[in-house]
């Protein structure tokens, strides 16, 4: 068990540079919301910036459905892609690694190194597959809490997440009210709508009806339900983009073929948008685990912030002690601004400190990953407050 080395600077002044993922093994059982326990587990994580002596500058990043621990920087000098939230994490960026110590983990149930359905079930010696315990958002909070203890942090400066990550951040505020000073909830919701659940169900059905799914035991059959998972990702992708964004990006442009009338004109027609989605689906299905996708979408569907608080979000948020930043994006129809306003309304009614920004953006749900100027301004502005609390002057 080694500590993460500080990241290595690169030529980019605002990049955390080259990062090396670390793994932490927990050999005590982790009790889960479903009643079962995970006998032992690994967590893969990355850290950016340095923990101060008071251990007061820690920020936890919670990832969304298809996310993982690699949120910022690169894994090698010639790595073409940066981490998924590199736009927001780095020196001088909203989550400023000159000031904060940032922890980003791959959640349990994931498929990027932390214990999940592709890991070996110690009881059977085979991959967990469909036998991996169903997870709730609160299970991730529990496992993140163990990480917090490992680093000796008693209070996060902030817990931050977008989408499903925002749901975890809110759960932190309710379950461990003393363990965070700020909760930043971006493009999220207190529970999914019927339409959201319906899209998730279609994604799941696409996976489970793939002939190679084998009731989730595809690894034992040396195969992968790639078509189903690709299709699931295509469904997701449409819903992460806005209609206007798709129009601007693709319109009705053709990738191949032509639409003129006459012999043989139709056979090879493919619209740009079809080609794009197919590519996205294929790329995803080669790098993500289908059982993880099923598990994550169910955790999303089952999340209901106020279920144990008489279905009253005001009563729920009364338990929180931190301050909140809530942000939404105008064209996000999967986690619409109306959902964020419900969070804000409940927080206000519960007498909590809350800032809210509704950002004009035509990128749909994906906007939370994109460095839109006003979004960055709002994020920077709020984070300045956290820096001031740490005694940094600006």
CA max distance for the chain: 75
Query: Which of 30-38, 78-86, 166-174, 319-327 is the region at the interface with its own copies (rule: CB under 8 A)?
Result: 30-38
d(CA 32, CA 34): 5
One DSSP character per residue, 299-354 reads HHHH-BTTTTTTT-HHHHHTT--SEEEEEEETT-SSS-HHHHHHHHHHHHHTT--E
* 8 bridge partner residues: 18
Q: Rounded CA gap, 189 and 339, in Å?
A: 5
Asked if residue 120 binds its own copies (CB under 8 A), the reply is no
Q: Which tokens sit at 185?
A: 């909830």
**Region binding its own copies by CB under 8 A among candidate stretches 22-30, 259-267, 319-327, 344-352:** 259-267
Identity of the residue, 32 or 184, whose beta carbon is nearer to its own copies in the bound complex: 32
The CB-of-293 to its own copies minimum distance in angstroms stands at 15
Contact set for its own copies, span 229-258 (CB under 8 A): 231, 234-235, 238, 241, 243, 246-247, 249-252
Question: Of 60-68, 153-161, 164-172, 264-272, which segment contacts its own copies by CB under 8 A?
Answer: 264-272
Q: Does 33 bind its own copies (CB under 8 A)?
A: yes
> Does 268 engage in binding with its own copies (CB under 8 A)?
no
**Residue 63, Cβ neighbours under 10 Å: how many?**
26
Give residue for tokens 């990043």.
61
Alpha carbon 3 to chain centroid distance?
24
Q: Decide: is 136 part of the binding site for its own copies (CB under 8 A).
A: yes
Residue 339 assigned to a binding site: no
Supply the minimum distance, in Å, between the C-beta of residue 312 and its own copies.
Answer: 15
Does residue 333 bind its own copies (CB under 8 A)?
A: yes
Query: For tokens 């990006």, what's the residue?
Result: 249
Q: Give φ, ψ of 178 to 5 degrees.
A: -85, -5
Q: Pick the stretch among 38-46, 60-68, 83-91, 297-305 that binds its own copies (CB under 8 A).
A: 297-305
Nearer to its own copies, 34 or 77 (CB): 34
Classify the phi-psi angles of 33: left when phi > 0, otherwise alpha if psi is within -120 to 50, otherwise beta.
Answer: alpha
The answer to whether 37 contacts its own copies (rule: CB under 8 A) is: no
- Give the chain's radius of gyration (CA, Å): 21
Site string for its own copies, 53-92 (x = CB under 8 A): ----------------------------------------
Ramachandran bin of 151, using left for φ above 0, alpha for ψ from -120 to 50, beta for the remaining angles: alpha
Q: Annotation-wise, does 233 bind a ligand? A: yes
Residues 348-387, mask of contacts with its own copies (x by CB under 8 A): ----------------------------------------
Within 10 Å of residue 282's Cβ, how many Cβ atoms? 15
Size of the site for its own copies (CB under 8 A): 57
Q: Choose between 131 and 345: whose C-beta lies nearer to its own copies.
A: 131
Residues serving a catalytic function are 163, 332, 365
Span 156-195, contacts to its own copies by CB under 8 A: 191-195
Alpha-carbon gap, residue 112 to 44, rounded angstroms: 8
- Rule CB under 8 A: say whether 302 interacts with its own copies: yes
Distance CA 79, CA 155 (A): 34
Question: Count of alpha carbons within 13 Å of 201, Cβ hemisphere only?
Answer: 9
On whether the CB atoms of residues 367 and 187 are closer than 8 A, the answer is yes
CA 142/CA 148 separation, integer angstroms: 10
**Phi first, then psi: what are they for 215, rounded to 5°?**
50, 35
At closest approach, how far in Å is the CB of 201 from its own copies?
Answer: 4
In the annotated binding site for substrate, the residues are 233, 366
Residues that bind its own copies (CB under 8 A): 33-36, 134, 136, 191-195, 197-199, 201-202, 205-206, 209-211, 227-228, 231, 234-235, 238, 241, 243, 246-247, 249-252, 259, 261-267, 269, 271-274, 277-278, 298, 301-302, 304, 307-308, 333
In the annotated binding site, the residues are 233, 366
């Amino acid at each position: 068990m080694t500590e993460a080395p500080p990241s290595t600077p690169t030529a980019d002044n605002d990049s955390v540079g080259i990062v090396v993922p670390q793994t932490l093994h927990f050999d005590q059982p982790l009790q889960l919301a479903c009643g079962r326990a995970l006998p032992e587990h690994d967590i893969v994580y990355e850290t950016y910036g340095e923990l101060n002596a008071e251990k007061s500058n820690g920020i936890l990043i919670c990832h969304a459905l298809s996310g993982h621990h690699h949120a910022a920087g690169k894994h090698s000098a010639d790595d073409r892609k940066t981490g998924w939230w590199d736009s927001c994490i780095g020196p001088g960026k909203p989550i400023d690694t000159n000031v904060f110590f940032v922890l980003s983990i791959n959640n349990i149930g994931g498929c990027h190194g932390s214990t999940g359905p592709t890991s070996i079930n110690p009881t059977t010696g085979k991959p967990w597959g469909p036998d991996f315990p169903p997870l709730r958002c609160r299970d991730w909070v529990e496992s993140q809490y163990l990480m917090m203890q490992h680093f000796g942090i008693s209070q996060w400066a902030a817990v931050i997440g977008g989408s499903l990550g925002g749901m975890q951040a809110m759960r932190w505020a309710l379950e461990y009210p003393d363990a965070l000073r700020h909760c930043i909830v971006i493009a999220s919701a207190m529970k999914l709508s019927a339409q959201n659940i319906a899209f998730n169900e279609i994604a799941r059905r696409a996976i489970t009806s793939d002939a190679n799914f084998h009731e989730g035991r595809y690894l034992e059959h040396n195969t992968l339900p790639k078509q189903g998972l690709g299709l699931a990702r295509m469904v997701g992708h449409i819903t992460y983009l806005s209609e206007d964004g798709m129009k601007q990006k693709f319109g009705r442009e053709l990738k191949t073929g032509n639409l003129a009338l006459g012999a043989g004109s139709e056979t090879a027609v493919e619209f740009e948008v079809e080609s794009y989605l197919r590519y996205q689906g294929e790329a995803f299905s080669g790098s993500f685990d289908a059982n993880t996708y099923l598990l994550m979408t169910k955790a999303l569907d089952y999340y209901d912030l106020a279920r144990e608080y008489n279905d009253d979000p005001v009563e729920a948020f009364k338990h929180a002690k931190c301050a909140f930043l809530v942000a939404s994006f105008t064209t996000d129809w999967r986690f619409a601004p109306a959902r964020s306003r419900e969070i804000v309304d409940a927080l206000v009614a519960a007498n909590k400190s809350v800032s809210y920004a509704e950002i004009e953006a035509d990128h749909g749900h994906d906007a939370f990953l994109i460095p839109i100027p006003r979004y960055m301004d709002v994020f920077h502005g709020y984070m300045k407050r956290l820096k001031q609390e740490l005694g940094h002057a600006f």
